[in-house]
Chain A
Amino acid sequence: MYEFVSGPLVWVAFIVFIGGMIIKTVGYINLSKKKDKVVYNHLNLDWSMRSIFRWLIPFGSRGMRENPVLTIAGFVFHICLLAAPLFLLGHNILWDEAWGISLWSMPDGVADWMTLFLIAAAIVLIIRRVVLPEVKIVTTSTDYILLAIACAPFITGYMAYHQWMDARTITIIHILCGELMLIAIPFTKLSHMILFFLSRAHIGSEFGERRGTVTW
């Protein structure tokens, strides 16, 4: 079982994730070139870049400044989401053993803290979904499920590292959770990972070039 989830299933997960996102992204760009011609008359990538940049830094936009709790929770969540798996020693050892490549690794204690911060941020996100009426009204079960799918690799990863139960079992579960998350990305709103850049590029140019105003 361990060999299966850490072998062939990894291939499947990454092919679906990377291949899926490439197909999606390229697909949308091509579709857009055909159906959104009005956008390309005045496309200004300078305005696009500025819009993207302002929304990638904490409090870079007015919306972020007016919603500080969400901004902090969102940035903590996303930074830990990306940094912990990429720079985890355990993961990089696996990459090194398989392909002879690896990234810089952080101390395990730091990774531990990142995991806990991510879970805390996720709790904030859940609370605001339940408590704020304007968020509750647009919330569907999918929103909770996707948050669970995103957090599961971290919770199980923490458990695996600290060996809270039989190491082999929890590690298998952790790997499965990670693979589930990767596979879910191209098929759900998690695709905003890449598509955020496309939609911001459009609106940044639309408002900047054609209206001379900012989108942050």
Chain B
Amino acid sequence: MAEAAVDTTEDQTVDTKVIKERLDLLKGGRFKMWLEICAHCGLCADSCFFYLAHDKDPKYMPSYKVMKTLGELYDKKGDVDRATLEKMAEVVYGDCTACRRCSMFCPFGIDIATMIAAVRGICCSQDLHPAGLKAAIQNYKDTGNQMAMSSEDFVETCEWMAEETAEEFRGLEIPIDKQGARIMYTVNAREPKFYPQDIAEAATIFHAARENWTMPSNGWDDTNLAMFAGDGKTMAAQVKLVYDAAERLGAENIAITE
């Protein structure tokens, strides 16, 4: 493996109580059953591109990754030292993208990737998620988008794009905070920040389709890096931000970019 996917934080300890709480929370219904019925058949291996890309190194096969992380956490009842947890974080952030292909290939339909994601939640609770995701999460909390863009800057960018594009497509508008629209459009935060022409292009399509659309001045970022990090609280808050914007504007549908 090249660089570490996570920060090492030797001076911090592990809050076993929090880990135990999370393990107990998970051990209801699906998770408990999945860990019990895994037949160790190995069929998930060939579905995992990490396994295939590493010349079928068995350490990258999905159920092994779960056994070494979630399985071990349950065996030790959450009582692991920080170094062990850091190694687990390397696995669940660095050796898996939670693409869920393994879940589709498992003969029992065990949702292996969701178990990896659950371990991410545990690692996040111990501040072991990758630095890049930490920064994005802070931005979500501060500004409601991962690029720390202010609403003023966002609206200005949209106005600038509308102006430029209207030169070619007469009457084109990028309506902000319009009430009762059929579509409330949301974007990846990098669009207003780095690729505003993407917004212009979407506007062109909406214009040509004579769509009744809008974008909210706040709640326009449809990405959710908090979900990737396993930060359930921020993840939910970010989704709620977008949903609340749609409710506030009385929009019929929320559309996402990509």
A residues contacting B by CB (< 8 A) are 28, 31-36, 39, 51, 55, 61-64, 66-67, 70, 128, 132-140, 143, 189, 191-192, 195-196, 198-204, 206-207, 213-216
Contact = CB atoms under 8 A, between A and B. Distances in A.
Contacts, number: 114
Given A192-B108, A202-B30, A207-B104, 11 more contacts: A28-B29, A28-B32, A63-B43, A63-B47, A63-B106, A134-B42, A139-B40, A143-B40, A189-B37, A196-B37, A200-B108
Nearest to B107: A55
B108 A138 contact: no
Contacts of A195: 33, 36-37, 108
Interface of B: 25, 28-30, 32-34, 36-43, 45-47, 51, 56, 58-59, 61, 63-64, 67, 103-111
B107 A63 contact: yes
Contacts of B40: 135, 138-140, 143, 189
17 contacts: A28-B32, A32-B28, A39-B30, A55-B109, A63-B43, A63-B47, A66-B46, A133-B58, A134-B56, A138-B64, A139-B40, A143-B40, A192-B39, A199-B109, A200-B108, A201-B109, A206-B111
Interface centre among A39, A66, A137 (most CB of B within 10 A): A137
B38 A189 contact: yes
Contacts of B46: 63, 66-67, 134
Contacts of A199: 30, 33-34, 37, 108-110
B28 A189 contact: no
Chain B interface mostly helix, strand, loop or mixed? Answer: helix
A58 to B, nearest CB: 12
A124 to B, nearest CB: 13
B104 A215 contact: yes
B59 A36 contact: no
Contacts of A192: 37, 39, 108
Given A134-B45, A189-B36, A36 B28 contact: yes
Contacts of A198: 33
Contact of A32 (B29, B45, B103, B108): B29
Contacts of B63: 138
B53 to A, nearest CB: 14
Given A192-B108, A203-B103, A203-B109, A36 B30 contact: yes
B29 A35 contact: yes
A209 to B, nearest CB: 14
